[in-house]
Amino acid sequence: MGFISQFMENKATDDKIVNISGQYVDIYRELIYPAEILVNRGKIIALRKLEAAPSQFILPGLIDAHIHIESSLLIPSEFARLAVLHGTVATVSDPHEIANVCGMDGVNYMIENGESVNFKFYFGAPSCVPATGFETAGASIGPAEIKQLLGDDRIKYLAEMMNWPGVLKHDNEVMEKIMLAKEAGKPVDGHAPGLTGDLAKAYIEAGISTDHECVSLDEATHKIKLGMKIAIREGSAAKNFDTLIDLMDTYPGSLMFCSDDKHPDSLLEGHIDQLVSRAIKRGKKLFDVLRAACINPIQHYGLDVGTLREGDPADFIVVDDLTDFKVKQTYINGVLVADNGKTLISSQKTDRINRFHTELITENSLRVNSAGDQIRVIVAEDGQLVTRQEWAFLPNPDGLLASCVEKDILKIAVTNRYETATPAIGFIRNFGLKKGAIASSVAHDSHNIIAVGTNDAAIMQAVNAIIRERGGLSLFDGETCTVLPLPVAGLMNTEDAFSTAAKYTELDHKSKVVLGSTLKSPYMTLSFMALLVIPSLKLSDKGLFDGSSFKFVSLHKGLN
């Protein structure tokens, strides 16, 4: 019958039956054999073994077990258009980012926009809004709202509990949210980078079931032994696949794959399909890898996603081979949604939702008086969310601290987007800019405006460009400013996914070639420099913050 799906008329009901043949990959029985699959009304109605079939392979669709759709800079309906090209049929999506900006309205926006296309978005109830009390957010979601969300069948879990100190200290609100999830029979996602030993044990015993933040094999192994599922993360900035993939040899039933945060340029290149291919090429067992990519998330979260058995929803993919894993076709609910590199999901019209209330900044607001010989410097780690702290001497002409391009120590600023306030200032190493500045209103978790630059004038230009657009990514090269607008919550673009990816690629390219950044993903890395719940040194709109001790610290040595 060939690769293209054929349609046969069902004489009894006048329904069309989709008939697809190829090498059937049975993950449960660990078998591969020639077969044809019959699909009717979105379900698999029969699997028939054949003597021979085309050489393409048919297997269940892929699932991203933890992702913030907002970080793709795409609204859910546009994200789906790219994801299906790579065989992704479903995501376990935490709407934490838009919730920190727009609250319950933001969560509802994500659900409703996701439902406008044939793709399986499974959202969680964001547990930490605001993420901490050490930054300005746009909204708050308390136990009453969590109870309301968990009562919705479309909400599948309590999203990542980043407030691990609150869990360990039995904070009343934190524990109430976890209890509500237990009462609803829904799992609780975790977020506890570096937490091990008795602290990890106590955190997990509180009811936390997963973690996607493990950065070492020992940490992940320890958490698995305590009963956790580990999502191996490979995003645009945080990349833990190489460190953690050997867990597949011993704990395949405890693993899933996720991207967490993925910008549109890298989503255009690949998704979970890349991780499957890399794992197989590393010698991992095919069926163990496919369980992590296709089956384990369904079982853990109770997702209504097909696993290629009779009676299941017809969510499956067709690939060239089981090594390179090039996806030829993707089906969701029996409908062909991607065919030979072309998305068949149409763009959808959408409303916009946002909260952006601040005035333009001035150069004067970025000035910092020198109050000592040494200052704290954030050291960004390429490919990681964690940072280090260093002490450094900086030139202070006229008693003012300034960026030092020669030492690769640049000024970083976070500006409150929700009300007019003086920007918080720090200094950072490893961005490598030689001129200009970049800025973003995507700044986890509260999404204030974050910028890094070689001088105050450049930072001002980059920040003000975002304020004028009420959200976006910007780049000032010393003469002109380029902006990618993000009108939905200052996080997402409403344009065609491919157009957004192209514009982002242009900004990323300029940040490296024109400004000189040495980072693989400068904008993604920048967005995490305000993420206070990841150690060690970060910057919020209220000041420098030590994520290890969970307290503010001074820029200058000796002041605290």
Angle between helical axes of 143-150 and 172-184 (0-180°, round to 10): 10
Q: In what order do the strands lie in the sheet with 255-258?
A: 62-67, 88-93, 120-125, 155-161, 188-190, 208-211, 229-233, 255-258
Mean pLDDT of 495-504: 95
pLDDT tens, 259-271?
999 999 999 999 9
Number of helices followed by number of strands (H, E) in the chain: 16, 28
- 48 forms beta bridges with 36
- Tell how far CA 222 is from the center of its chain: 24
HEC string for 352-389: CCCCCCCCCCCCHHHCCECCCCCEEEEEECCCCCCEEE
- In b/e form, how buried is each residue of 282-317, taking b as 16+ CB within 10 angstroms? eebebbbbbbbbbbbbbebbebebbbbeeebbbbbb
CA–CA dist 331, 44 (Å, integer): 11
Q: How confident is the model at residue 8 (pLDDT cuts 50, 70, 90)?
A: very low
Instruction: Measure Cα distances from 268 to 167, 495, 496, 559 in Å.
Output: 38, 15, 12, 47
Where does the pLDDT of residue 1 fall: very low under 50, low under 70, confident under 90, or very high at 90 and above? Answer: very low
Least confident range from 116-125, 127-136, 453-462: namely 127-136
What span, in angstroms and rounded, lies between the C-alpha atoms of 524 and 542? 21
Of 67, 79, 68, 66, the closest CA to residue 493 belongs to 79
13 has a pLDDT exceeding 50? no
Q: At what angle do helices 104-114 and 143-150 cross, to 10 degrees?
A: 20
Examine residue 445 and say whether the peptide bond preceding it is cis (omega within 30 degrees of 0).
yes
pLDDT given for residue 383 in this prediction: 76
Residue 192: is its pLDDT beyond 60? yes
CB 541 within 8 A of CB 448: yes
Nearest to 45 by CA among 435, 409, 402, 308: 308
Confidence of residue 560 (pLDDT cuts 50, 70, 90): low
Predicted pLDDT at 16:
81
- Alpha helices by DSSP H, 115-155: 143-150
Q: How large a percentage of the chain has pLDDT more than 90?
A: 88
Spatial separation of the C-alpha atoms in residues 373 and 394, rounded to whole Å: 8
Q: What is the largest CA-CA distance in the chain?
A: 88
Question: What is the CB neighbour count within 10 angstroms for residue 328?
Answer: 17
pTM, full prediction: 0.92
pLDDT tier at 300 (50, 70, 90 boundaries)? very high
Buried b (16+ CB within 10 A) or exposed e, 426-460: bbbbbbbbebbbbbbbbbbbbbbbbbbbbbbebbb
- Average pLDDT of span 222-244: 94
Rounded Cα gap, residues 525 and 502, in angstroms: 19
Phi, psi angle pair for 213, to nearest 5°? -105, 10
Q: In three state form, how does the secondary structure of 188-214 look?
A: EEECCCCCCHHHHHHHHHCCEEEECCC
Query: 337 pLDDT exceeds 70?
Result: yes
- For residue 370, with 0-12 CB atoms within 10 Å meaning exposed, 13-18 middle and 19 or more buried, which class applies? middle
Task: Catalogue all structural domains in the chain, each as residue range(s) with its CATH number.
Answer: 59-343 (3.20.20.140), 364-552 (no CATH)
Q: For residue 14, name the pLDDT band (cuts at 50, 70, 90).
A: very low
**pLDDT-wise least confident of 14-18, 232-236, 237-241, 408-412:** 14-18
Is the pLDDT at 381 greater than 80, yes or no? yes
Which residue, among 291, 207, 305, 203, has the nearest Cα to 251 in the 3D structure? Answer: 291
Residue-level pLDDT at 533:
85
pLDDT grade for 117, boundaries at 50, 70 and 90: very high
Mean pLDDT of 422-443: 97
| Closest alpha carbon to 463 in 353, 309, 360 | 360
pLDDT at 9 > cutoff 70: no
State the amino acid at position 53 in one-letter form.
A
CA 436, 534, 132, 226: dihedral to nearest 10 degrees?
160
Residue 5 predicted with pLDDT over 50: no
Rg of the chain in Å (alpha carbons): 24
Mean pLDDT within 505-522: 96
Q: How high does pLDDT run on average in the chain? A: 94
Percent of the chain with pLDDT over 70: 97
Is omega for the bond preceding 130 within 30 degrees of 0, making it cis?
yes
